[in-house]
Amino acid sequence: MRLKAKTAARINGILMFLPYFVLLVMFAVIPIIMAFNVSIGPSRLSPGGGVGNYLFVLNDFRFLSALANVGLFLAIYLPAMLIVVAGLSLLLDTISSKYTVPLRLAYLVPAGITGSVAILVWYFMLEPSYSPFAPLLAEFGLTEGTDIFNTSNLIYIFALMAFFTGAGNWIVIQYGSLQSIPDEVLEAARVDGANAFQLAFQIKLPMIRKYLIYMLILVFAAGLQIFVEPFLISSSVYPGLAKDWSLNQLSYTLAFTGSNLGAATALSMMLMLVMVGLALIVIYRTDFFDEAVVKTEKERA
Amino acid sequence: MMNNSIAMQTRRKARLRPQAIPAKVAVWTVMILFAIFSVIPMLWLVLAPSKTQRQLQQEFPLSFGSFQGYVDSWNNLMVFQDGRIVDWIINSIWYSAVQVSVASIVALLAGYALAATRIPLRRTLLITTLVAMIVPQVAFVLPLFVEITALGLYNTAWAIILPGTFFPFGVFLSYIYFTTTIPSELYDAAKIDGAGDWATFFRVAMPLSWGLVGMLAFFSFQVNWINFFLPYVVVTSGEVLTLPVGLGILFSSTPALSPQVGANVLPIRAPEIALAGMMIAIPILVVFVASARVLVRGVLAGSVKS
């Protein structure tokens, strides 16, 4: 009887999980396998198949420059996110939470400006003839659209867009984790004579460290995949300005204008490998998901 | 008690210290400035369609034109391919509606299966879900393109809709919710009373999970509503596309952002394109602001004790 119930529970579990499992196989596992097969299959440039497509991408002159662009973009974007998000969430945490409500709502507003809308809005924000920030831009000697939209500024423009899209909601999220620090810990530190700075840097910051690392990894993964912003700028607003600027743009170009799907999938497989590696680091090398996974272990035992 | 009153005294002292005042002012200045910078772009976007092209360039950037301005901008936008914008709006709405409902239901069931049933290979399935959740969607675009073409779904609505129903983050969120927020004794009690897994799910777990359903709908709407890369790659026909991709088309085929394109043919300039952008941004803004609290709990699921 009991055995029968256990089997039923197993079957029910499988049935409940099944719809998701089908989607997982259909839209994650199979596409990766198919793309991998294309990437090692024979193509125009590598008739023998194998690693030919991978070598082709790695030797393509556009690959290194795209990698450098994305690398520099991340080198600006990631530290800016870390400093501003940590800084502002700590500042928010110094005042009573009822006064922070309007500020937090304001910080969430730019989250609506993302993807193609981000290009639209930031085009107007940076174009001096339209921009509400025109006086500020003029302070920096930027009075013409072409002063701003040129190749040497692209990294800053994309970093600015990505930063504003994500910073606000991460501030709200990190503020949320600061609020979950037990009051006793903070009171104890205050009784010991810690001032606001010591409280922030020696107590609060270490306690939200893992959330900040989690944020950085997610932001890094998303940043490495940057596509929409350079693609739209370059395909419409300023034709050719950011052509093949990012790795995903290169992969797009290879697939759809160079009709070299083999090389395109090779590039996307290499990016996928980095992504899965990062994911495994988060899971096994940080303690972010420990609680969730440990819990299952206990239940099984 | 004792400790508390001492702490209160020290805090009060800190508040009265004169050198603390400039610090407070500095803190508030930084926070308010950042808030202003955060709000201005959206404010501009919402105000822009109320003005004419000329007003946009000559008047104060954050001034209001007139309500008629919105109507005019809309009418001009309708000129583009005989009202193509309406197709895009309708598509965006029904695609997201299907994606949000399917993704949420599937995630609820799978999360519950991981949390409260004797499903085999639980740990493996959970780790796989975590990996799929951390890898950004964009990474799957080209592989999905290969698959969609092979399946013959290229250039159909399903090519956009189906991949958007895969929602590993939702499964993880549900799993966390069903293991932490609902005490496991509740499931056990239902089972002792003779309820099966399905009855427990529908009669015990679900009625306690409307907050979770809200979170799932919020996060899946947020990613699907603005998705650009995949729809752009798997669909070419204008009548199958969504608003964000449509906006991209407006960039390249109207004089709004690139005056060299058909300047005399189409009445689509900055106010019109801002209206199209506003229709994408406002729903996202509304769901974000409406669920600010949910956002924090969702993203930090599994690591912050609620």
Q: What is the CATH number of the domain that holds A75?
A: 1.10.3720.10
Could you tell me if residue A178 is inside a domain?
A: yes
Residue B78: pLDDT band (50, 70, 90) is very high
For residue B303, pLDDT over 70 is answered with no
In a domain, A132, yes or no: no
Predicted local distance difference test score (pLDDT) of residue B46: 96
Instruction: Give a yes or no: residue B203 inside a domain.
Output: yes
* pLDDT(B292) > 80: no
pLDDT, average across residues A261-281: 92
Residue B59 lies in a domain: no
A238-254 pLDDT, tens digit per residue, is 888 889 999 999 999 99
Please give the single-letter amino acid code of residue B95.
Y
User: In sequence order, what are the residues at sequence separation of 6 or more whose Cβ sits closer than 8 angstroms to the Cβ of residue A263?
Assistant: A43, A45, A53, A56, A57, A60, A254
Tokens of residue A136, six digits: 């500020």
Q: Indicate the burial class of B19 (C-beta count within 10 angstroms; 0-12, 13-18, 19 or more).
A: exposed
A108 occurs within a structural domain:
yes
* Structural domain for B114, as ranges: 83-253
CB contact under 8 Å between A27 and B277, yes or no, is no
Chain centroid to CA A13? 33
C-beta atoms of A173 and B296 within 8 A: yes
Residue B275 in domain: no
B/e letters for A45-57, b = 16+ CB within 10 Å, e = fewer, are: ebeeeeebbbebb
Region A47-54: mean pLDDT is 83
Please tell me the distance from the alpha carbon of residue B13 to that of residue A196, in angstroms, as a whole number: 13
Closest by Cβ to B113, choosing from A13, A236, A255? A13
pLDDT > 70: what percent of chain A?
Answer: 96
CA nearest neighbour of B88 among B217, B222, B225: B225
User: Are B160 and B231 a contacting pair, CB within 8 Å?
Assistant: yes
Residue-level pLDDT at B302: 62
Q: Are the C-beta atoms of A58 and A267 separated by less than 8 Å?
A: no
Q: How many domains does chain A have?
A: 1
Count structural domains, chain B: 1
| pLDDT digit string, tens, across residues B214-235 | 889 988 998 999 999 999 999 9
Residue A119 in contact with partner chain B when CB distance is under 8 A = yes
Q: Report A:61-80 residues touching B (Cβ under 8 A).
A: none
How far is Cα A165 from Cα B129, in angstroms, rounded to an integer? 26
* Range(s) of the domain holding residue A206: 66-118+158-300
Tell me the pLDDT tens digit for each residue of A128-139: 989 999 999 999
Cα(B254)–Cα(B80) distance, rounded to whole angstroms?
9
**What tokens were used for B272?**
């019109």
Enumerate the residues of chain A whose CB falls inside 8 A of the CB of residue B220.
none
> Does some domain include residue A14?
no
Cα atoms in the 13 Å half-sphere on the side-chain side of A229: 26
Among A148-162, B41-55, B178-192, the range scoring the smallest mean pLDDT is B178-192
- Contact call for A248 and B44, based on CB within 8 A: no
Q: Which amino acid is at B67?
A: F
The pair of three-digit structure tokens given for residue B108, joined into one six-digit string? 């609820």
- A144-202 confidence digits (pLDDT tens): 888 888 888 999 999 999 999 989 889 988 998 888 888 888 899 989 988 888 889 88
Q: What angle do CA A28, A32, A36 make, to 5 degrees?
A: 175
Residue A189 at interface with chain B, using a CB cutoff of 8 Å: no
| This model's pTM is above 0.80 | yes
- Nearest Cα of chain B lies from the Cα of A11 at a distance, in angstroms, of 7
The residue written with tokens 């005056």 in the block is B259
Amino acid (1-letter code) at residue B275: L
Contact between chains at A35 and B282 (C-beta distance less than 8 A): no
Is the per-residue pLDDT at A298 higher than 80? Answer: no
Read off the CATH number of the domain in which B168 is found: 1.10.3720.10
Tell me whether 0.85 is exceeded by the ipTM. Answer: yes
* A-contacting residues in B 257-276 (Cβ below 8 Å): 257-258, 270, 273-274
Q: What integer pLDDT is reported at residue A295 of this predicted model? A: 56
The reported pLDDT for the residue numbered B12 is 45
